[in-house]
Amino acid sequence: MIVTIDGPAGSGKSTTAKRAAARLGYVYLDTGAMYRAVALGFLRVGASATPTGAEAVLPSLEVDVQHQDDTMQVFLGDEAVTDRIRTAEVGRIVSDISTLAPVREYMVEQQRRIGRAQADRHGGVVLDGRDTGTVVFPEAPVKIFLVADIDERARRRLQEYEAAGEEVTLEEVRTEIEERDRQDRTRDIAPLRRADDAIIFDTTDCTIREQVDFVADRVKAQNARGT
Ligand code: DC
């Protein structure tokens, strides 16, 4: 079973996907974390978010994930970078990096490989991102597109930054995610959009439990149909 959850920044994808995967006994694959690891790779060598930068960085850059219990660790080469990718600095550059064709080709290939392997091993995988239902697994039997009010999304993202010890204001976070959404929706390759067969779910006034119930119910209904 492949479940895709796409949507804009702060719509609740990661929390929902992670907990739904745990509830269902599936594996969670955070594709945004993989793009963030690539962005960190660019930052580390001071490469620009351009095709020339990608040519210089990608041949020696390896992004992979490992699953331990219910958590997903992201690796840049041999280094676990799971915490280091959650900074405002990475947040500012990742959307630019994710517009680059060679970056997307590499990511989609890795995500398909990891997703299929994990689904075979554990019975299912829940992916979250921007294009997981449109590009990575367009054949996924359960596709969800999460949305939420911009103020609520900014509040959620601010809490994440504060937990990571970053000093940013709500207004800065709001501007950052608005700009990121605009870029993610308007890029030429694999823009953020709802797959035609994805179900929209608005999380603005929802508890996490309601979000997880929604996904789990969809999966159970699909499994009951025997596909
Ligand atoms: O989900 P997130 O905020 O951690 O994602 C970071 C960025 O990565 C997001 O701005 C766009 C990019 N991304 C993407 O282009 N495609 C995906 N499937 C996931 C993320």
Residue 222 lies in a domain: no
Q: Is residue 223 part of a domain?
A: no
CATH number at residue 169: 3.40.50.300
Q: What pLDDT is recorded for position 227?
A: 54
In a domain, 70, yes or no: yes
182, 39, 32, 195 alpha-carbon torsion, rounded to 10°: 50
Indicate whether 165 belongs to any domain: yes
> Is 96 a pocket residue for ligand 1 (Cβ < 6 Å)?
no
- Protein residue with its CA nearest to atom 4 in ligand 1: 32
Tens digit of pLDDT at every position of the chain (227 positions): 999 999 998 999 999 999 999 999 999 999 999 999 999 999 999 999 999 999 999 999 999 999 887 789 999 999 999 999 988 889 889 989 999 999 999 999 999 999 999 999 999 999 999 999 999 999 999 999 999 999 999 999 999 889 888 889 999 999 989 988 998 899 899 999 999 999 999 999 999 999 999 999 999 999 998 75
Q: In terms of pTM, does the model score above 0.85? A: yes
- For atom 6 of ligand 1, the residue with the nearest CA is 32
For 45, the domain range is 2-214
Residue nearest to ligand 1 atom 15, measured at CA: 98
pLDDT, tens digit (0-9, with 9 covering 90-100), for 112-166: 999 999 999 999 999 999 999 999 999 999 999 999 999 999 999 999 889 888 8
Among 183, 115, 129, 111, smallest CA distance to 13 is for: 129
Question: Is 186 part of any domain?
Answer: yes
Residue 224 lies in a domain: no
